[in-house]
Amino acid sequence: AQSVTQPDIHITVSEGASLELRCNYSYGATPYLFWYVQSPGQGLQLLLKYFSGDTLVQGIKGFEAEFKRSQSSFNLRKPSVHWSDAAEYFCAVGANTNAGKSTFGDGTTLTVKP
Amino acid sequence: DVKVTQSSRYLVKRTGEKVFLECVQDMDHENMFWYRQDPGLGLRLIYFSYDVKMKEKGDIPEGYSVSREKKERFSLILESASTNQTSMYLCASTNPGQGGPEAFFGQGTRLTVV
């Protein structure tokens, strides 16, 4: 069975500082990996995704993530955080089978200090 | 621009009422999903549908049913609402054949059962 772990429930960073959100997954084959962002009271928006190719993927809003097969990780990074990045972030693992169903982590809430 | 639309942003219903949550997508996607989101629990899958009139239970189907009479519309039904169904409900769609199981989400419906 597939699963996703986001070890950090809540992270606080200062504006302008770098950010790394952790994600570990369990999956039997090569998975699709996603990061989504959710602003308060909104649905989820895709930040980036990985399936194959270059293990460092670029997304929207200046985010990037690196796939490390040996560590079963897909950590999200941003070099300089903006106040507007405050939101909840979800890592997910999915496949093209089974209706494209994804399994989501429990989320990491990011607070940005001025 | 692709779009998933949920009929209500906020709903307040009484215990025992029958509640309908509606979701429409305009992307001709095969698959549609209903999740509920609660603090600290991430997204939990209630039901999904991979074709018209086809449905499968997710992880927490008890107390819910669904209907998919047309490809673009997926309804979540609470047969007899209870206070423990107070939650944020998110609808999503995928079409893995178009490049991967990326999920497109609606803006969410915040349901309060009193």
Is residue B88 over pLDDT 70?
Answer: yes
Chain A segment 43-102 residues within 8 A of B by beta carbon are 43-46, 49, 51, 90, 92, 94-97, 99-102
Is residue B85 over pLDDT 90?
Answer: yes
Query: In the structure, what pLDDT confidence band is assigned to residue A41 with cuts at 50, 70 and 90?
Result: confident
**Residue B55: CB atoms within 10 Å:** 18
Q: Do A99 and B90 touch (CB under 8 A)?
A: no
3-state class percentages of chain B: helix first, strand second, coil last, to nearest 5: 5, 55, 40
Query: In the structure, what pLDDT confidence band is assigned to residue B101 with cuts at 50, 70 and 90?
Result: confident
* pLDDT the model gives residue B44: 93
Mean of per-residue pLDDT scores for chain B:
93
Query: In the structure, what pLDDT confidence band is assigned to residue A73 with cuts at 50, 70 and 90?
Result: very high
* pLDDT the model gives residue A98: 67
Copy the structure tokens of residue A66: 């690196």
Is residue A51 over pLDDT 80?
Answer: yes
Q: Do B42 and A51 touch (CB under 8 A)?
A: no
Bridging pattern class, strands A10-14 and A108-113: parallel
Q: Which of A80, A95, A109 is nearest to A34 (CA)?
A: A95
* pLDDT the model gives residue A40: 87
Which residues of B fall within a CB distance of 8 Å from A96? 96-97, 100-101
Q: Do B48 and A99 touch (CB under 8 A)?
A: yes
Neighbour-count burial of B76, counting CB atoms closer than 10 A to its CB (0-12 exposed, 13-18 middle, 19+ buried): buried
pLDDT in tens, B18-70: 999 999 999 899 899 999 999 888 899 999 999 898 999 999 999 999 999 99
In whole angstroms, how far apart are CA A74 and each of A21, A56, B91?
Answer: 9, 9, 25
Q: Do A96 and B106 touch (CB under 8 A)?
A: no
Is residue B99 over pLDDT 80?
Answer: no
Mean of per-residue pLDDT scores for chain A:
92
* pLDDT the model gives residue A12: 97
Q: What is the DSSP letter of B62?
A: T
Q: Do B31 and A100 touch (CB under 8 A)?
A: yes
Q: Which of A26, A30, A20 is nearest to A4 (CA)?
A: A26
* pLDDT the model gives residue A90: 96
Q: Do A99 and B102 touch (CB under 8 A)?
A: no
Greater confidence, A110 or B42? A110
Residue among B48, B90, B100 minimizing CB distance to A32: B100
Which residues of B fall within a CB distance of 8 Å from A105? 42
Is residue A110 over pLDDT 90?
Answer: yes
Is residue A99 over pLDDT 80?
Answer: no
Q: Find the closest chain B residue to A36 by CA distance.
A: B103
A1–chain B Cβ distance below 8 A for any pair = no
